[in-house]
Amino acid sequence: MFLRMTTLCLVSIAACGCAPVIDAELGLIEQSRRGVSVVKDSVEQRRELVTTLLAKDRAALDEAFDADASQREQIDTAWLLEARQAYAAAVEALARRDASVEKSFDADVDNLSAIDDALIELDRLNRAQRQLFRFDK
Amino acid sequence: MSIDLKTEVAAVVAIRWDDFARRHPNLARVIDQHLVVESAVSHLRTDPAYQHALANARSAGAGVETVVTIIDKFVSVWLEKLV
């Protein structure tokens, strides 16, 4: 009997004491998710900016190719072949760099999504726990 | 015999660069040599023909000069294939 009373008292105390803590945790989770969302938006904005800058490199390459050709009095086959090789090598190098940059942004977004998923799960668990204490009351 | 592929490819590209820049000044200004070197190195690392030639040279006890010649040749082949 004594043991049962003690247990009941402890559970009641825990229930009364835990609810505000859970509410505080839920608030922190919400803030964290908002923070993650802000960082995600920032990453996407940076991706957009970087993509624009990377595209400019490609445009500069096209302009340079045309400028070299127009400044040349006579275009022989060897010169054209060399220009095309260099142009193609540069295009491939830029494509490789762009893919690597894109991959890095994707990794950032994936990591942030994983953090958000974990926070959603934590939120769910906390809500379930709070519900449990409400039943106790 | 220890050869750093990236250093050797960079050297091969650098040797040709001045002549290239004379003939194609605008392209030379906008092309990032380092990116081109990275691209060439990445290609050579996965090129079976290059790997085969390198293995043959090594088993024959070839010196650094031979290996550099092989790298030079395969960088040229890579450039030709790009066009």
| Measured distance CA(A48)–CA(A54) in Å, rounded | 10
Please give the radius of gyration of chain B, using alpha carbons only, rounded to the nearest integer: 13
Question: CB–CB of B24 and A71 under 8 A?
Answer: no
Model pLDDT for residues B34-65, shown as the tens digit of each residue: 888 988 999 899 999 999 999 999 899 888 88
Element holding B3 (H helix, E strand): none
**A6 has a pLDDT exceeding 60:** no
The reply to whether B14 touches chain A by the CB within 8 Å rule is: no
Q: B24 contacts in A (CB within 8 Å)?
A: 64, 68, 79, 82-83, 86
Separation in Å, CA A111 to CA A9, A35, A115 = 43, 14, 6
Element holding B23 (H helix, E strand): helix B5-23
Average pLDDT, stretch B12-34?
89
Average pLDDT, stretch A15-34?
87
Average pLDDT, stretch A114-133?
93
The shortest C-alpha distance from A119 to chain B (Å) reads 40
**A84 has a pLDDT exceeding 80:** yes
pLDDT band at A7 (very low <50, low <70, confident <90, very high): low
> Which residue's entry shows tokens 């990116």?
B35
Which pair of structure tokens corresponds to residue A28?
């922190």
Tell me what pLDDT residue B80 has.
75
Q: How confident is the prediction for chain A on average, in pLDDT?
A: 88
The chain B residue lying nearest A83, using CA atoms, is: B24
Question: CB–CB of B79 and A88 under 8 A?
Answer: yes
pTM of the model: 0.72
Which pair of structure tokens corresponds to residue B62?
């070839």
| Measured distance CA(A108)–CA(B29) in Å, rounded | 33
| Measured distance CA(B9)–CA(A9) in Å, rounded | 77
Residues 17-56 on B with a CB inside 8 Å of A are: 20, 23-27, 29-32, 35-36, 38-40, 42
Tell me what pLDDT residue A121 has.
97
**A113 has a pLDDT exceeding 60:** yes
Chain centroid, CA A80 distance in Å? 43
**Interface mutation vs chain B, best among A54, A61, A75, most B CBs within 10 Å:** A61
Domain regions of chain B by residue span: 5-81
Model pLDDT for residues A46-70, shown as the tens digit of each residue: 999 999 999 999 999 999 999 999 9
The reply to whether B3 touches chain A by the CB within 8 Å rule is: no
Model pLDDT for residues B60-83, shown as the tens digit of each residue: 988 888 988 999 899 888 887 765
